[in-house]
């Protein structure tokens, strides 16, 4: 399941939701707000999310991951609004009987979410300037 | 001419200075809407990684536009 939250992500609660007696492990990716990007010192981040389509597309990404790397449970939440350095911006967790599917599905989900969902990131710098960030995969193509 | 509601997000909203407007446009496709509104607001963002949705469904730039549609223009995304 995929969700968008404008409040602090409760990591423990999300992790509990993907517990399953058939799972032998969980693979989790947490995206954090860092204080540097391309040589500039970042003070905080702002995420703009168009929720109706972000949720539809996020659910689609998880369904695609399930088809390619069958797992038992997956959950993903992306933040919206203003975030401070160190805050969790995105959380992905996949539990499965064996680790291989969990690692692969987790990687697939975070990569697709970064490049497909209608989510935009604005960095606010310590010098008072700000700017929208292009996705890494887009910028490298 | 068609009456089209156009919604702008992130940097597009900042370029346009508004989040949404309803326009009378000579537009057959989503691409026409993109180009016409870019001219209108003097935006120069290349279409490369921009995306479009029509009436809350992801669409292609070649998708046909009908009178009364809402076209959502998404600049390059950056989740995570």
- pLDDT per position as a tens digit, B42-70: 888 889 889 999 999 999 999 999 999 99
The chain-wide mean pLDDT, for chain B, equals 95
Report the gap between the CA of B47 and the closest CA in chain A (Å): 12
The chain-wide mean pLDDT, for chain A, equals 94
Ordered structural domains, chain B, with CATH: 2-74 (3.10.20.30)
Asked if the C-beta of A110 comes within 8 angstroms of chain B's C-beta atoms, the answer is yes
User: What residues of chain B have any CB closer than 8 angstroms to a CB in chain A?
Assistant: 9-11, 48-49, 51, 53, 56, 58, 72, 74-80
Whether the Cβ atoms of residue B53 and residue B60 lie closer than 8 Å to each other: no
pLDDT of residue A99 exceeding 50:
yes
Ordered structural domains, chain A, with CATH: 2-140 (3.90.1170.40)
What separation in angstroms does the CA of A60 have from each of A49, A94, B2, B41? 17, 15, 32, 33
In the prediction, which pLDDT does A38 show? Answer: 87
Asked if the C-beta of A55 comes within 8 angstroms of chain B's C-beta atoms, the answer is no
Under the banding of pLDDT at 50, 70 and 90, the label for residue A140 is very low
Q: What is the ipTM of this complex?
A: 0.91
Q: What is the pTM of this model?
A: 0.92
List the single residue in B49, B58, B80 with the smallest CB-CB distance to A138. B49
| CB-based contact A117 B77, cutoff 8 Å | yes
């Amino acid at each position: 399941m995929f969700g968008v939250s404008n409040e602090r992500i409760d990591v423990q609660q999300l992790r509990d939701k993907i517990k399953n007696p058939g799972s032998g492990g969980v693979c989790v990716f947490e995206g954090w707000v860092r204080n540097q990007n391309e040589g500039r010192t970042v003070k905080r981040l702002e995420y703009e999310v168009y929720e109706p389509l972000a949720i539809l597309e996020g659910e689609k990404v998880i369904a695609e991951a399930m088809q390619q790397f069958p797992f038992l449970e997956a959950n993903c939440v992306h933040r919206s609004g203003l975030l401070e350095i160190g805050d969790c911006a995105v959380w992905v967790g996949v539990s499965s009987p064996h680790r291989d599917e969990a690692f692969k599905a987790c990687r697939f989900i975070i990569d697709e979410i970064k490049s497909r969902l209608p989510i935009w990131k604005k960095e606010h710098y310590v010098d008072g300037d700000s700017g929208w960030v292009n996705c890494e995969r887009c910028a490298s193509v | 001419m068609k009456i089209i509601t156009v919604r702008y997000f992130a940097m597009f909203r900042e370029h346009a200075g508004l989040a949404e407007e309803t326009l009378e446009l000579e537009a057959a496709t989503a691409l026409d809407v993109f180009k016409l509104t870019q001219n209108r607001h003097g935006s120069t963002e290349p279409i490369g990684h921009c995306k479009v949705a029509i009436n809350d469904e992801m669409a292609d730039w070649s998708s046909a536009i009908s009178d009364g549609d809402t076209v959502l223009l998404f600049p390059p995304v950056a989740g995570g």
